[in-house]
Amino acid sequence: MKERLITHLRHVDLAVPDFDKQREFYTTLWGLTPVADDDGVCFLAAEGSPEQYIVRLRRDKEKRLDLIAYGAKDRASVDALAARLGHDGVQLVHEPRELQTAGGGYGFRFFDIDGRTIEVSSGVAERRHRKIEERESIPVRISHVVVNSANPEATKAWYEKHLDFDLSDALTLPHMGALMYFMRCNPQHHSLAIARGPHTSLHHVSFEMRGLDEYMRGSGRLLRAGVHKVWGPGRHMAGDNTFSYFLDPHGNTIEYTTELELLDEDIWHPSQYDVSQPENQDQWGTANPFNELLAKESFNDVDRGCFVAPPV
């Protein structure tokens, strides 16, 4: 198995104008647990995850993606990655240091090729978590994050070169070429995916449920509450995971999923899936048809946070 300095996805941080509405949605409907609040910043955990938090919300006058955070094995890995990025001319937001956010740890921040702020950390204290019970339809953990890029080939190459991500699979269309690249930093099929979009923005954040029954019960809860469903329920071909996509109150696409494929990296070879074939969109055939209008819902607003580090 390939050795990487980055081990897994920790959390995704969002800034929103209507902080109270967003916090209410993620805690009462989506199923996350608030673990800390500090003057317009809220840290939300998944009950089944040892991560201190998997989503951070921050009050701001503009909507933006604040941060994508990844874990590393130890301080030496953090230092080695920071040294490598600095040598390669990647712009650091700050050098490795003790972190002041929930759980502490040791880490640094930098901008990726599109201007997103990325954090890599180690030594974050684990949160006391628990086993999610049958029929308990709340997220177990964060699964993956998908971003939009106007040049996904360049973004893909950047993550391969600088952060050792590998391509698992790709989605294609005959008249457009590649639509999405699924990238991994561990045996999970993807922790990151890069979609072709008109601008840099968040495409969606995905949350792992306990199993199929819990996934369907959670999806039903959102539907009964009148939350706008984008796409699903269904099962993807790439990654073999289930999907139900919804919009949060600020128009960010979020997903309930389960059963994302774990790969044997020593023998895995990427495939290209032509999504003009319906079975490559949804193996079950239960989701609403995927079309251009549906795709546009995940383009999201232009991210105002590119090459601007968040204040927290």
Task: Kindly tell me if the per-residue pLDDT of 133 is higher than 80.
Answer: yes
Read off the pLDDT of each residue in 176-204 and give the average, rounded to a whole number: 97
What is the rounded CA–CA span in Å between residue 184 and residue 169?
A: 10
Distance CA 150, CA 140 (A): 32
Peptide bond before residue 233 is cis, with ω within 30 degrees of 0: yes
C-alpha 76: how far from chain center: 25
CB-based contacts of 300: which residues, under 8 Å, 6+ apart? 148, 197, 201, 202, 203, 251, 252, 253
Q: What is the pLDDT of residue 296?
A: 87
Find the Cα–Cα–Cα–Cα dihedral 222, 226, 230, 233, rounded to 10°.
40
Residue 232 has pLDDT above 70, yes or no: yes
Q: Where are the alpha helices (DSSP H) in 120-204?
A: 152-163
Task: Kindly give, in sequence order, each residue whose CB lies less than 8 Å from that of residue 31, ignoring residues fewer than 6 positions away.
Answer: 137, 138, 139, 218
Cα 40 to Cα 28, 61, 161, 311, distances in angstroms: 18, 12, 36, 12
* 211-230 mean pLDDT: 98
Band of residue 290 on the pLDDT scale cut at 50, 70, 90: confident
Backbone CA torsion sign across 233, 236, 239, 245: negative
Convert the pLDDT of each residue in 252-261 to its tens digit.
999 999 999 9
* Sheet arrangement for strand 92-98: 33-37, 41-45, 55-59, 6-16, 64-72, 117-122, 106-111, 92-98
Q: Could you please state the CATH topology (level 3) that the domain comprising 6-122 is classified under.
A: 2,3-Dihydroxybiphenyl 1,2-Dioxygenase; domain 1 (3.10.180)
Give pLDDT, residue 36. 87
Whole-angstrom distance, CA of residue 235 vs CA of residue 261: 12
pLDDT at residue 291 greater than cutoff 90? no
Per-residue pLDDT band for 292 (boundaries 50, 70, 90) equals confident
Mean pLDDT (the chain) is 96
**pLDDT category, 237, cuts 50, 70, 90?**
very high
Strand partners, 211: none
Domain 6-122 and domain 141-297, same fold? Reply is: yes
Going from N- to C-terminal start, the domains of the chain cover 6-122, 141-297
Model pLDDT for residues 62-98, shown as the tens digit of each residue: 999 999 999 999 999 999 999 999 999 999 999 999 9
- Write down the pLDDT at residue 259: 97
Residue 230 is which amino acid?
V
- What is the tens place of the pLDDT at every residue in 145-163? 999 999 999 999 999 999 9
Strand, coil or helix: what is 256? strand
Q: Does 1 score more than 70 pLDDT?
A: no
Counting other chains too, the contacts that 288-297 makes at CB distance below 8 Å and 24 or more residues apart are 288/231, 288/232, 290/231, 294/230, 294/231, 297/230, 297/247, 297/253
Report the pLDDT averaged over residues 95-122. 97
> What is the side-by-side strand order in the sheet with 229-235?
229-235, 242-247, 253-257, 201-208, 141-149, 192-196, 177-184, 166-173, 271-274
- Per the confidence metrics, is the pTM higher than 0.85? yes
- One CATH from 3.30.200.20, 3.20.20.70, 3.40.1310.30, 3.10.180.10 for 141-297: 3.10.180.10
